[in-house]
Structure 1
Amino acid sequence: MSLAVSHSGSAGSKLPARLAPAVLVSAPASGHGKTTVVAALARRLSRAGLDVRVFKTGPDFLDPAWHELASGHTVHNLDLWMTGEDDIRRRLYDAAGQADLILVEGVMGLYDGEPSAAEMAHRLGLPVLAVIDASSMTGTFGALAHGLRTWLPGLRWAGALANRVASPRHAELLASACQRPGADQPTMDAHSGNDSKPASIAHRQADSQPSGTPAEEGPDSTGEGTRSDFLGSVFRNAAFAMPARHLGLIPANELADARQKLDAAADALEGTVLGSLDRETLQRWNTCFLPPEGPGHIAPASQPLAGRTIAIARDAAFAFIYPSNLEVLQALGATLTFFSPLADDPLPACDAVWLPGGYPELHAEQLSACRRLPETLRAHIEADRPVWAECGGMLPLFEQMRHDERDWPMWGILPGSIEFGKRAAGLGMQQLAWPPVSADADLNAPAA
């Protein structure tokens, strides 16, 4: 959708601001079902002929696979730290030119992490829809919804959806919990002791949010002065339960019944506010996205990889690939070719090899039996050509892998063996400076 408001881009061209319904789906914590709800809503609206574009907050390869199947579109990751605000705004602006709805799935809880999903929503002017696992609560549901809505003054609010509800009576109690007297009163600013500015006023200050602002505020978009927070109940149903393993959900392409699960989840939204959404009612979430100030997503001054071919492993064992990274390599001029280690494909003719992460340990027997790929990969390395192996992509390069109490001989390109521990040693994003700097250097300091 496009709103007829001109704006000067980087070259002085007049580009229209774009108006599109958008919502960020979050939760009090991980495990409340936000991925299922995002995929269900994308599937339901896509079945009805609407164009839904989905984004995932944070570094995640697994949830986007479900969202791609549900929406029929590539899913990109948004992260204020990893990709930066400019990239986020450009991607959302592009999506707003095509989408009937933009869905952004948050990561962890709404206020968890730095920067949090709430901070992203606040900066971009996106309303927040909270998915709350209500399986073991009634009145506390209302308190949680109220707290999530009011903790950050000025946060747009779309409402709270109860998930894993036991019965119609349970649903009634949850709805009542969102209608307690005083639930819609403005909160006090914890730092100043003064009444915080109502969100409906703060959102109209477009100058404070240069892009991604609410187009028109009203009771349904902020929740101020209304009792419209409750979006309904999704009842427990094993038919759309998404199975998981140690790193998260099992990717949709590994499940024969993935589409059936998505359809069951989409049907489960019937009877909720989300189940009655269409192009007209989606306008409650309208957000105005201004055109980017700088060049497009990827505008390299030159193509240093022109004439170079990069061979990329891609199959069930090597699947952790961000679409944006493929875009970057192609924009830099590289030709990309793909091969399957599980099929023991010989290495294609190439100038460099990328072995991405994934689940090689789940396919240890097949990888152990490979003969053609290790031989051609070793020849590639002996010819002094580069290999980039990351995370799980590095594991088959060693001499041996131990998994589930079994030892599997691997490709023997690197000395040593791999053994899996009982639990993850750590999780989080890190920043690397290159060329290397001293250990006490400030990695966040601007470059000289």
Structure 2
Amino acid sequence: MNFPRVVLAGLSGGSGKTIVTLGLCRAFKNMAQVVKPFKKGPDYIDARWLGLASGTYATNLDPFLMSNDRLKALFLEKGLGADISIVEGNRGLYDGKDVDGSCSTAELARIIKAPVILTIDCTKMTRTVAAIVAGCKAFEEGFELAGVILNRTAGERHRNILKSSIEAYTDIPVLGMLPKLKENPIPERHMGLVSNTEYDAVDKALDTLGQMALDCIDLDAVSKIAGNVSNLVAEKSAWEGIELVSEDKPVIGVVRDKALWFYYEENLEALTRAGAEIKEVSLFANEPWPAIDGLYLGGGFPETLAKEISENESIRKHVYELAKSGLPIFAECGGFMYLGRDVEYEGQKYPMSAVLSLSTKLCARPQGLGYTSGKIIHENPFFPIGSTVIGHEFHYSLCADNEQLDPKYALDMDRGKGMAEGHDGLLMNNVYAGYNHIHALGVPCWAGNFVKAAAEFKNTK
């Protein structure tokens, strides 16, 4: 299937590709184009901003989290009907999980047969940029390096030398040259861009970036590159193995608010396809939650909102009672932190739901970062014993004080840190909680098992 698509890559993290991609998404949207954003890799924050910039949610694509066939099928399904699909890469163009560059942005571009536009930070650099462009083009085969966008240029003279050097030594077109910004329109903090739920100037920031793209990038050339692509075919459905398992319509509550909002939309779609009814609930709710048969607590920033969370004692007690009643609960990272006894942030401890007898503490440096994999070694509602669970982790907190009696961890990790020296997925009644994040298309048994557990709970009430 043939539809316009392009990958925006960088030389490294922090090269400015997110700012450039956001600007392109907003500029095309403001030109009345239907833009479908994608984010390469395990990422929630950039993906959320890409969705805000384009007007539709972003879909994550990652060769580690899902097979190539699933990845292509998902890309085709979600990009169908858009005027342009824009994929933001992650880290450097060739950076993957090993020396071979496995799961890199370049590998993704090959899988989806998409041309690549490279964003380069040109700070304190002139002619050398031509060598970098030539080297990136020659380093690997199998994908098209279709253009470059020069970021953080210092002035007209600087831009003229950069452009002339690239044109003299390579055949790669310069599609745009962006000035240095005095300040980032979107603030950053310990996990990247600040959450839009905690920032008041979202549209103003995105419109600023959209105007910058309009002024500084040849959008017609970008559109032409995106449209000049070969046919792409998927050989199977992205949803293979995720089927209706219950017609009882068990209700799974999903905590989705300004504290917990790290969810892959495909995870929620998988639960729906397996037969669940999704109801969004909040840790900040003033009214009681609706009746639910299962609970999904994703990741987010409970630490920065810990004081406000702790003040909602009624919801904290409600979650404690739900867990005690045997409700199936699946909690990832920030959701796991909420299930603990308390969270320590900037020297202050804030009480959480106390479902688990442990404390978490935010640290100055990451405590777990990267892809994960492991085997399930204990019975639980979500994964069969012996199954492999792949995912990712990115957390600045650690489990500082675990007083669980005879703690039982379902996941024995061969890659990643988890919450206890390579162990994750702490079990208690029907609770499964840990730092590991999963993608439903990478672990297709999860959705059906979650819905089955919720249906069984519903039928026993």
1:156 maps to 2:144: yes
* Alpha-carbon distance, 1:269 to partner: 2.2
State the identity %: 29
Equivalent-residue separation in structure 2 for 1:94 and 1:298 (angstroms): 13
* Alpha-carbon distance, 1:229 to partner: 2.4
* Alpha-carbon distance, 1:100 to partner: 1.4
* Alpha-carbon distance, 1:360 to partner: 0.3
SS of the residue 1:360 aligns to: coil
* Kept in 1: contact 2:35–2:85 (CA 8 A): yes
Residue matched to 2:116 = 128
Residue matched to 1:46 = 29
**1:232 maps to which of 152, 159, 176:** 176
* Alpha-carbon distance, 1:439 to partner: 7.2
* Alpha-carbon distance, 1:231 to partner: 1.6
* Alpha-carbon distance, 1:425 to partner: 2.2
* Alpha-carbon distance, 1:239 to partner: 6.5
* Alpha-carbon distance, 1:298 to partner: 5.4
Residue matched to 1:259 = 203
Q: Which aligned pairs between 1:350-429 and structure 2 lie closer than 5 A?
A: 350-429=292-371
Q: Which aligned pairs between 1:173-192 and structure 2 lie closer than 5 A?
A: 173-180=161-168, 183-184=169-170
Higher strand content, 1 or 2: 2
Distance 1:302 1:398, change over 3 A: closer
**2:51 maps to which of 68, 75, 94:** 68
For 1:78, the aligned partner's letter is L
Residue matched to 2:91 = 108
* Kept in 1: contact 2:344–2:362 (CA 8 A): yes
For 1:231, the aligned partner's letter is L
Q: Which aligned pairs between 1:238-253 and structure 2 lie closer than 5 A?
A: 238=182, 241-253=185-197
Equivalent-residue separation in structure 2 for 1:151 and 1:34 (angstroms): 20
For 1:118, the aligned partner's letter is A
Equivalent-residue separation in structure 1 for 2:187 and 2:414 (angstroms): 43
Equivalent-residue separation in structure 2 for 1:128 and 1:441 (angstroms): 33
Residue matched to 1:314 = 256
Equivalent-residue separation in structure 2 for 1:441 and 1:262 (angstroms): 40
Distance 1:251 1:229, change over 3 A: same
* Kept in 2: contact 1:158–1:285 (CA 8 A): no
The structure with more radius of gyration:
1
How high is the TM-score relative to the length of structure 1? 0.79
How high is the TM-score relative to the length of structure 2? 0.77
Residue matched to 1:304 = 246
Equivalent-residue separation in structure 1 for 2:313 and 2:54 (angstroms): 39
Equivalent-residue separation in structure 1 for 2:232 and 2:27 (angstroms): 28
* Kept in 1: contact 2:47–2:58 (CA 8 A): yes
Equivalent-residue separation in structure 1 for 2:368 and 2:356 (angstroms): 24
* Kept in 1: contact 2:374–2:413 (CA 8 A): no
Equivalent-residue separation in structure 1 for 2:157 and 2:22 (angstroms): 27
Kindly provide the CA deviation profile for residues 290-349 of structure 1, in whole angstroms up to 9, marking residues without a partner as x.
Answer: 343223535644323742110111111101111010010000000011111023553421
Shifted more, 136-145 versus 283-292: the winner is 283-292
Equivalent-residue separation in structure 2 for 1:286 and 1:379 (angstroms): 57
Equivalent-residue separation in structure 2 for 1:393 and 1:44 (angstroms): 35
Distance 1:392 1:329, change over 3 A: same
Shifted more, 416-425 versus 432-441: the winner is 432-441
- CA RMSD of superposed structures (Å): 2.4
For 2:26, the aligned partner's letter is R
